[in-house]
Amino acid sequence: MIPEPLLAQEHELARWRRDVPALALRVHDHPLTYLDNAATTLKPQAVIDAVTQVALAQAGNVHRGVHALAEAATEAFDAVRPQVARFLGASADEVIFTSGATASINLVAHSLGRQVVGPGDAIVVTELEHHANLVPWQLLCAERGAELRVVAILEDGRISLEDLARKLDRRVKLVALCHLSNVLGTVAPVAEIAAMAHAVGALVLVDGAQAVAHLAPAELAVSRLGCDFYVFSAHKVFGPTGTGVLWGRRELLAQMPPWQTGGEMIASVDYQRAQFRPPPERFEAGTPNISGVIGLGAALHYLTNLPAHRAAHEAALHRALCAAVAGAPGVTILGRPQAAVVSFVVARAHPHDVATLLDQRGVAVRAGHHCAQPLHGRLGVSASCRASLAYYNSLEDVRALAAALSAVREVFP
């Protein structure tokens, strides 16, 4: 079915799976087959332990106390910022903690967007975008009297660089795109797109929510990507929910006003005025999600210490997944997936019904428009099912999905 040398050895994969307690669950008296990683990833025990440790021994607030619990929390929290910077090939003072990729994009839209976008200007997005990388730009354009331009995708799901070239001119202030599509599994040529955008003076924001758990470190290095902003969420990369990252070029962050104000981001204040701290603290008002950030650090430590061949293992599994779904009777794959996800529709069956029947056999997939309703409209469907992988998935998971899809055809012949 797939080249065995590219898969992790059985004992190695078994160890990876033991590290993730949720994989031992049974669902409707079946072993859990978890193929909803694009929605959220399961957590290794190391992440669970790190979050628990915060409640047990690092329970103080960060940056605000000199007692032992506060100092322990601060030390653990502050260690994560340079760790994220290394993960992205960046500098620590360019890493901002947020509540997720959505908050990161909204921060840029509200802070930088209101500075650089005015009447007659334009913002460019692609047909692939998640609502989080579309709606903030819609609202900004409506508020500022600007134009939103949408770049078409080709029939295989790749971004049309020809259409992008047509829609780039000196009026464009920002290009926003996803690194890896959460619906079609398309990997964007970010470096090429960034060069095209910079040639007309536009900035580039990349939604990396799906990419960070799947692409190789070299493919995530922001210096090689050439983008100006990169965002992702912790829970898509085996960390806790409610935590995210915004990376931005230092010189841009220095020019941006705060989006939210309050404690922690203040340098000094009286009753008339306030002076704000420099980035990244300028954009981190209030008590942060301390356990979430520390959990993110544990997740990145775990991920980056997995063997390098885990990427080959996942790529081989993805090929097997595509083949299994394509071979199921009455099933049509959307686009031509390149990594991580496979979205599909089943003839004469609503995706929610398909997902419910799969769940009855212990197979967890996503059903709906995956927060990409305009993209589904572009593809001529209202919704789809989506199976998505992580490093801990196995050939047995792929086989379980294939068997469950065959059972679906018995209900919807």
How deeply is 116 buried, as exposed, middle or buried, from its count of CB atoms within 10 A (0-12, 13-18, 19+)?
A: middle
Mean per-residue pLDDT, 73-90: 98
Percent of the chain with pLDDT over 90: 94
Residue 269: strand, helix, or coil: strand
Are residues 271 and 386 located together in one domain of the fold?
no
DSSP code at position 235: G
Are residues 69 and 56 located together in one domain of the fold?
yes
For residue 308, the model assigns a pLDDT of: 87
Q: Cα–Cα distance between 69 and 101 in angstroms, integer?
A: 29
Each residue of 345-375: pLDDT tens digit? Answer: 999 999 999 999 999 999 999 999 999 999 9
Are residues 282 and 378 located together in one domain of the fold?
no
Residue 4 clears pLDDT 70, i.e. is over it: no
Confidence at 6, pLDDT banded by 50, 70, 90: low
Are residues 153 and 251 located together in one domain of the fold?
yes
Q: Cα–Cα distance between 346 and 318 in angstroms, integer?
A: 19
Are residues 346 and 293 located together in one domain of the fold?
no
Q: Cα–Cα distance between 403 and 413 in angstroms, integer?
A: 15
The number of distinct structural domains making up the chain is 2
Give the domain-ending residue among 247, 271, 304: 304
Q: Where are the alpha helices (DSSP H) in 92-177?
A: 101-111, 113-116, 135-144, 161-167
Are residues 58 and 133 located together in one domain of the fold?
yes
Q: Cα–Cα distance between 279 and 75 in angstroms, integer?
A: 19
Q: Which residue has the tokens 């899809």?
A: 405
Whichever domain contains 228, its CATH number is 3.40.640.10
For residue 352, the model assigns a pLDDT of: 97
Q: Cα–Cα distance between 116 and 94 in angstroms, integer?
A: 20
Residue 2 clears pLDDT 70, i.e. is over it: no
For residue 136, the model assigns a pLDDT of: 98
Contact (Cβ atoms closer than 8 angstroms) between residue 338 and residue 186: yes
Mean per-residue pLDDT, 230-243: 98
State the average pLDDT for the chain.
96
Give the domain-ending residue among 304, 319, 335: 304
Confidence at 64, pLDDT banded by 50, 70, 90: confident
Q: Would the pTM count as exceeding 0.85? A: yes
Residue 36 clears pLDDT 70, i.e. is over it: yes
Range of the domain at 59: 49-304
Element containing residue 58 per DSSP (H, E): none
Are residues 215 and 70 located together in one domain of the fold?
yes
Are residues 111 and 21 located together in one domain of the fold?
no
Closest CA to 285 of 271, 297, 274: 274
Q: Cα–Cα distance between 200 and 5 in angstroms, integer?
A: 46
Q: Cα–Cα distance between 134 and 128 in angstroms, integer?
A: 9
Known catalytic membership, residue 371? yes
Write the CB contacts of 185 (distance below 8 Å, at least 6 apart in sequence). Answer: 157, 318, 335, 337, 338, 339, 340, 341, 342, 343
Each residue of 276-329: pLDDT tens digit? Answer: 999 999 999 999 999 999 999 999 999 999 998 899 999 999 999 999 999 999
Are residues 146 and 16 located together in one domain of the fold?
no
Closest CA to 302 of 81, 58, 49: 49
For residue 333, the model assigns a pLDDT of: 98
Q: What are phi and psi of 335, to 5 degrees?
A: 70, -160
Are residues 192 and 118 located together in one domain of the fold?
yes
**How do the residues of the chain divide into helix, strand and coil, expressed in percent and rounded to 5?**
45, 20, 35
Are residues 328 and 207 located together in one domain of the fold?
no
Each residue of 133-154: pLDDT tens digit? Answer: 999 999 999 999 999 999 999 9
Catalytic residue, chosen from 178, 227, 371, 385, is: 371
Whichever domain contains 397, its CATH number is 3.90.1150.10
Contact (Cβ atoms closer than 8 angstroms) between residue 213 and residue 242: no
Residue 86 clears pLDDT 70, i.e. is over it: yes
CA atoms within 13 A on the CB side of 341: 29
Give the domain-ending residue among 255, 281, 304: 304
Confidence at 5, pLDDT banded by 50, 70, 90: very low
Are residues 109 and 243 located together in one domain of the fold?
yes
Write the CB contacts of 412 (distance below 8 Å, at least 6 apart in sequence). Answer: 330, 346, 347, 348, 349, 353, 354
Residue 242 clears pLDDT 80, i.e. is over it: yes
Concatenated DSSP letters for 176-226?
EEESB-TTT-PBP-HHHHHHHHHHTT-EEEEE-TTTTTTS-HHHH-HHHHT
Residue 178 clears pLDDT 80, i.e. is over it: yes
